Amino acid sequence: MSGPVDWWRDAVVYQVYVRSFADSDGDGIGDLPGITARLPHLRDLGVDAVWITPFYTSPQHDHGYDVSDYCDVDPLFGTLADADTLLARAHELGLRVIVDLVPNHTSSQHPWFVEALAAEPGSPARARYLFRTGRGPGGSQPPNNWLSVFGGPAWSRVGETDQWYLHLFDSTQPDLDWRNPEVGDMFAEVLRFWLARGVDGFRVDVAHGLFKEESLRDQERPEVASGHDGANEAREMVERTVGDEPMWDQPEVHEVYRRWHDILDEAGPDRMAVAEAWTQTPESMARFVRPDELDQAFNFSWLLADWSAAAFADVVTGTLAAVDSVGAAPTWVLSNHDVVRHPTRYGGGPRGLARARAATLTMLALPGSSYLYQGEELGLEQVEVSSGHRQDPSWFRTGEPGRDGCRVPMPWGGQTPPFDFGPAGSSPWIPQPEEWASLTVEAQAGDPGSTLEFYRAALAARREHARGLGAEVEVRLDAGDVLELRRGPLTVVLNCGNTPTALPPGEVLLSSAGLRCAGGTTYLPADAAAWLRSAAVQPSSAEL
């Protein structure tokens, strides 16, 4: 692929949730050939790269985040040949491809875990995982008080024995013991396998989790542990890393990323890795992206910020300072497959969508890269999935609705479900709302007021006016809950207040909502953002 070797530093990356993007064979579940066929949508949208969630062999208890073979494709999603075709087609279209890597745990059906269960306590096969002796009479109580992120205890007992194994997520996702060198060696091979097939990068799942404090001591605040399905729950997840929780963000993990950095380098200067690391502060996030570690980390503080100019300003300032201290590029993200979609988080309905568009336009002006989640370009909201259709493991463990509502299959065209997600007559694995008829790609394409055309225009404007502007951002808070961010000649104004605000002088390039002019002044409505170019400053490098 052509382009700069450090392409990720200002890329727009589009996340594809495999099960829910496009279904080529009509089994109701998205697959790799489905993605390949829809890649032109991503090119037309104007993104630079696509991150594809796990498509490896998996019993699908956590929809692929439970991997039983890291170097093969699950038949549900296709074959290795389909993966090669997808990569080739993406590269032809100028799109980079990031695949997901799940190193914290395997599936309980991974050959290693099957072997471990069949082996004796204390055996080398068990030493690849975290088996421990239980507490209390006969070892009938878990070895410590840790709770699973998906609810309930983080330990499961091996039959009636006194042995238990650790799983920070579902019981079908046993945590590996990264203190065992075999584990690191296995993942080094997995990285090389996919790099040799031509992937451009990796998204590292639970990057803050691999190492646990050796003592496996009790955690201090187990009561806030459960939940994994929205901003509040995500906040709780971050809360768990407060202080010195023994299962997250241990210093030893960074040695792993130094090794991976070298493996990526060997494959070429343009290969990257981005960490999913839920950390407490921008500073702890920055530790994952030191020059000899991973390249990027998702900036969840942007996603977690309240709808307030001051909150967004704090995140921008804190993030830029933190990544600058290690020379990394920042990232911005508002939605993914684990959290409530951002129009719904911002209140839902027309107001939630207006705010969502405004927040998106704001982040696209910032230095660094933006990660978009499939369907946000259509303005999709979180769906209330009926309990009979819920499949998130956290729903089964806690009875909480879980994350299925942001994973409803994409509406592409047509008047009724499956909205061209799959062939006519097929039934998507989660039913799509009938109202999505007006939100399909087909329905929105060409309509200048649509969210899809807004995203296309915003991504085009970013290429033209924001790319290459440098990392300096001047952050200003104006009276009335208005945020102004200046980056060279580009200014973005975000109105978090309740009344229209007068825009500063300059040429309006784009706005997330209609503007009003009165008496020579242009007004930005509440819940909206606009990009302006100041007349007096240098043209952007894109124009030179």
Place of tokens 């997600």: 421
Q: Where in 266-295 is the site for ligand GLC (CB under 6 A)? A: 276
- When CB distances are held under 5 to 8 angstroms depending on the partner's kind, the choice from Mg ion, ligand GLC, none that residue 31 binds is Mg ion
CA-wise closest residue to 55 among 39, 27, 25, 34: 34
Structure tokens given for 383: 């769906």
CA distance 165 to 311: 41
Is the Cβ of residue 35 or residue 366 nearer to Mg ion in the bound state? 35
Q: Nearest residue by C-beta to ligand GLC? A: 65
Instruction: Let me know the angle formed at the C-alpha of 110 by 108 and 114, rounded to the nearest 5 degrees.
Output: 70
Residue 164 within binding range of ligand GLC, rule CB under 6 A: no
Residue 245 within binding range of ligand GLC, rule CB under 6 A: no
HEC profile of 461-497:
HHHHHHCCCCCCCEEEEECCCEEEEEECCEEEEEECC
- When CB distances are held under 5 to 8 angstroms depending on the partner's kind, the choice from ligand GLC, Mg ion, none that residue 29 binds is Mg ion
Catalytic residue among 185, 252, 255, 266: 266
> Binding-site residue total for ligand GLC (CB under 6 A)?
9
CA distance 498 to 508: 21
CA distance 174 to 189: 20
Catalytic residue among 175, 205, 338, 377: 205
CB of 415 to Mg ion, least distance (A): 22
Task: With H, G, I as helix, E, B as strand and everything else as coil, classify residue 275.
Answer: strand
Our answer to whether residue 447 is catalytic in this structure is no
Burial class (CB in 10 A: 0-12, 13-18, 19+), 223: exposed
CB of 64 to ligand GLC, least distance (A): 9
CB of 37 to Mg ion, least distance (A): 12
Residue 338 within binding range of ligand GLC, rule CB under 6 A: yes
Strand partners, 522: 517
Is the Cβ of residue 76 or residue 483 nearer to ligand GLC in the bound state? 76
List 25, 239, 324, 442, residue binding Mg ion (CB under 5 A): 25
- When CB distances are held under 5 to 8 angstroms depending on the partner's kind, the choice from Mg ion, ligand GLC, none that residue 200 binds is none
- The site map against ligand GLC for 85-124 (x = CB under 6 A) is -----------------x----------------------
List 51, 131, 164, 169, residue binding ligand GLC (CB under 6 A): 169
- When CB distances are held under 5 to 8 angstroms depending on the partner's kind, the choice from ligand GLC, Mg ion, none that residue 155 binds is none
- When CB distances are held under 5 to 8 angstroms depending on the partner's kind, the choice from ligand GLC, Mg ion, none that residue 314 binds is none
CA-wise closest residue to 76 among 89, 62, 57: 57
Is the Cβ of residue 78 or residue 139 nearer to Mg ion in the bound state? 78
How far apart, in Å, are the Cα atoms of 195 and each of 101, 168, 192, 205, 266? 12, 28, 5, 17, 10
List 29, 52, 274, 482, residue binding Mg ion (CB under 5 A): 29
Is the Cβ of residue 21 or residue 65 nearer to Mg ion in the bound state? 21
Is the Cβ of residue 298 or residue 412 nearer to ligand GLC in the bound state? 298
Asked whether the beta carbons of 483 and 530 are under 8 A apart, the reply is no
Residue 408 within binding range of ligand GLC, rule CB under 6 A: no
Residue 432 gets the label, from left (phi > 0), alpha (psi -120 to 50) or beta, of: beta
Is the Cβ of residue 28 or residue 414 nearer to Mg ion in the bound state? 28
CA distance 440 to 354: 18
Place of tokens 């040695």: 255
- When CB distances are held under 5 to 8 angstroms depending on the partner's kind, the choice from ligand GLC, Mg ion, none that residue 206 binds is ligand GLC
Asked whether the beta carbons of 445 and 452 are under 8 A apart, the reply is yes
Report cis status (omega within 30 of 0) of the bond before 418.
yes
Instruction: Let me know the angle formed at the C-alpha of 129 by 127 and 135, rounded to the nearest 5 degrees.
Output: 90
Asked whether the beta carbons of 315 and 326 are under 8 A apart, the reply is no
Residue 31 within binding range of Mg ion, rule CB under 5 A: yes
Structure tokens given for 389: 């259709």
Structure tokens given for 45: 């949208």
Is the Cβ of residue 333 or residue 364 nearer to ligand GLC in the bound state? 333
CB of 79 to Mg ion, least distance (A): 13
- The site map against ligand GLC for 204-243 (x = CB under 6 A) is -xx-------------------------------------
CA distance 171 to 152: 10
Is the Cβ of residue 83 or residue 183 nearer to Mg ion in the bound state? 83
List 7, 51, 55, 65, residue binding ligand GLC (CB under 6 A): 65
Place of tokens 């209140």: 347
Our answer to whether residue 205 is catalytic in this structure is yes
Structure tokens given for 355: 């705010």
CA distance 46 to 14: 10
Residue 23 within binding range of Mg ion, rule CB under 5 A: yes
CA distance 438 to 443: 6
Residue 175 within binding range of ligand GLC, rule CB under 6 A: no
- When CB distances are held under 5 to 8 angstroms depending on the partner's kind, the choice from Mg ion, ligand GLC, none that residue 25 binds is Mg ion
CA distance 357 to 444: 15
Is the Cβ of residue 52 or residue 528 nearer to ligand GLC in the bound state? 52
- When CB distances are held under 5 to 8 angstroms depending on the partner's kind, the choice from ligand GLC, Mg ion, none that residue 23 binds is Mg ion
- When CB distances are held under 5 to 8 angstroms depending on the partner's kind, the choice from ligand GLC, Mg ion, none that residue 233 binds is none
| Residue ranges in contact with ligand GLC by CB under 6 A | 62, 65, 102, 169, 205-206, 276, 337-338
| Residue ranges in contact with Mg ion by CB under 5 A | 23, 25, 27, 29, 31
* Catalytic residue annotation: 205, 266
